[in-house]
Structure 1
Amino acid sequence: MYEMRRVIVLTQKELVEKERLNDATAVVIDVFLATSTIAFLLEYGYDPVYTANDGNHACDIQEKEQLFGLMLGEKNGEAIEGFEYPDPTLIQKVNKKQSAIICSTNGTRAVESANLSESLLLSSLVNGHMVAKHIHQKTDSETIVIICAGNAGHFSAEDFVGAGQLVDHLWERENYSFSDSAKLARDAFLKEKANNYKGLLEKETSKLLRDTGFAESMDLIIQSVEMVHVLPMYVDGKIQNLNLE
């Protein structure tokens, strides 16, 4: 008999109780935009990627680690002065690996909320298949906690759908049990998948990105569902690509 593994979805980062993640595998999701941008950064040759809570924290990391790579950041949807906007459509591929630092209102702070977990992964619709595969094949935590970054303390539909993607990949596997929130997330994912994710373009975060001129980033993410083959894992204070393939 297999020991059952519990899959839980938290609808926003503010619900995380850090001390309860010590023996858990945690997954942070911020579809629009942070975890999608991080997936593309790794795909395009930026490795490692550091996450920061805000611009000042990012500068502290840059100084401490003596980094000279890409600096990306936003606060409440607006670009931070001196930083590139964390939009995957603006990222250029590099021939030689270099570092990047990213800070955001929601996604990178969600990473900070989960950094005491036994294992910490980052997922989005573009690479959720890779994360689910790793969870099933390479982790043995009894509890998998999927953390939706949310939007400044509020629910974000696109993150919930991203959580449902992971749940759907694990659904037919043996020895998993799912919280009610995980089951509802899967329902939301299946509905959006059947509609080619067009409903995500009508949600609150989508409006914010359109108003700030970054609508193309959402199109890229939707066009790239499960097409970015990276496995972002938080290791020793930075995110690295542990691609299985």
Structure 2
Amino acid sequence: MKIDVIISADDIKENKIKDKIVVVIDMLRATSVITTALNNGASRVIPFLTVEEAFSKAKELKDNYLLGGERKAVLIDGFNLSNSPLEYSKDVVNGKDIILSTTNGTRAINNCLKAKRIFIGAMINAKALTDKLAEINEDVVFVNAGTVGQFSMDDFICAGFMISKLNELNNHELSDIATTARYIYENNPNVIEYIKLARHYSVLKNLGLEADLEYCCKKDIIDLVPEFVNGEIKLI
């Protein structure tokens, strides 16, 4: 298995992902939200690039849906839920469709349509996901959503955590950037302490979202793998 990393949504190029297995990571917070919502009984998550597309889908569905997401880490006017995974509890999302639009995560997902398969990854479901990747045993690209097109330490160390897990199972062929991501995680296993240096961490902390930060840095607390297929994300 060859393993590579793309450092932001702006760096997604067709030749890097075409016909490959892709794992999209936006641990702070979109992919943590998606994983949590599905774990708590949401029927599916439908990711959109724009707020306008999200509202249009809501009109189409008419009922049994929730609008979730953010712009600049803040709840979108007219949406039911923000981008906090803690809001997506079982009593709120069970049996509902989640229409999601975020600044970075849903953009990264929709930019990966040329991939063979698209999985959704975060710290919270890393073991389940890496077990699935090991079972498939094909080349994989970890796509970091990043922050407004820029590299983000949080997504990078999350990719490193998964790469480290894969290498525990077998020795794989890592690109230089994949090797660096693994090195970063293995030398900084206390993830929340490491990402305190990240710009996006500071943004969320200044908004009083410390509980979100702590939750998103938990390791392997959800045993499921979401997959994006035909415009929607469900459990495989």
What TM-score, normalized by structure 1, do the two folds share?
Answer: 0.89
Of residues 25, 37, 50 in structure 2, which corresponds to 1:29?
25
Alignment of 1:38-57 (within 5 A): 38-57=34-53
Q: 1:72 maps to what in 2? A: 68
Of residues 8, 17, 38 in structure 1, which corresponds to 2:4?
8
The number of residues matched between the two structures is 234
Q: Distance in 1 between matches of 2:188 and 2:234?
A: 29
Q: 2:225 maps to what in 1? A: 231
State which drifts further: 196-205 or 120-129.
196-205
Q: State whether structure 2 residue 182 is matched by structure 1 residue 186.
A: yes
Instruction: Give the AA of the match of 1:114.
Output: C
Give yes or no for contact 1:67–1:99 (8 Å, CA) kept in 2.
no
Aligned residues with identical type, % of pairs: 24
The alpha-carbon deviation at position 121 of structure 1 amounts to: 0.2
State which drifts further: 54-63 or 38-47.
54-63
Instruction: Give the AA of the match of 1:51.
Output: P
Give yes or no for contact 1:48–1:238 (8 Å, CA) kept in 2.
yes
Q: Describe the shift of the 1:175–1:202 C-alpha distance in structure 2 as closer, same or farther (beyond 3 A).
A: closer
SS in 2 for 1:46: coil
SS in 1 for 2:124: coil
Q: Distance in 1 between matches of 2:125 and 2:160?
A: 13
State which drifts further: 95-104 or 148-157.
95-104
Q: Distance in 2 between matches of 1:196 and 1:158?
A: 8
Q: Describe the shift of the 1:206–1:20 C-alpha distance in structure 2 as closer, same or farther (beyond 3 A).
A: closer
Instruction: Give the AA of the match of 2:233.
Output: I
The alpha-carbon deviation at position 233 of structure 1 amounts to: 0.5
Q: 2:98 maps to what in 1? A: 100
Give yes or no for contact 2:46–2:231 (8 Å, CA) kept in 1.
yes
Q: State whether structure 2 residue 74 is matched by structure 1 residue 81.
A: no
Q: 1:131 maps to what in 2? A: 129
Give yes or no for contact 1:54–1:73 (8 Å, CA) kept in 2.
no
Give yes or no for contact 2:70–2:83 (8 Å, CA) kept in 1.
yes
What TM-score, normalized by structure 2, do the two folds share?
Answer: 0.92
Q: State whether structure 2 residue 215 is matched by structure 1 residue 198.
A: no
Instruction: Give the AA of the match of 2:202.
Output: K
Superposed CA RMSD? 1.7
What are the superposed Cα offsets for residues 138-168 of structure 1, whole Å, 9 maximum, x if unpaired? x243x21110100001111010011001111
Q: 2:216 maps to what in 1? A: 221
Q: Describe the shift of the 1:67–1:239 C-alpha distance in structure 2 as closer, same or farther (beyond 3 A).
A: farther
Give yes or no for contact 1:62–1:68 (8 Å, CA) kept in 2.
no
Of residues 145, 151, 155 in structure 1, which corresponds to 2:151?
155
Q: State whether structure 2 residue 136 is matched by structure 1 residue 165.
A: no
Q: 2:113 maps to what in 1? A: 115
Q: Describe the shift of the 1:64–1:123 C-alpha distance in structure 2 as closer, same or farther (beyond 3 A).
A: same
What are the superposed Cα offsets for residues 88-145 of structure 1, whole Å, 9 maximum, x if unpaired? 12222138522111111001100011122111001001101111111111x243x211
Q: Describe the shift of the 1:147–1:196 C-alpha distance in structure 2 as closer, same or farther (beyond 3 A).
A: closer
Q: Distance in 1 between matches of 2:187 and 2:133?
A: 24
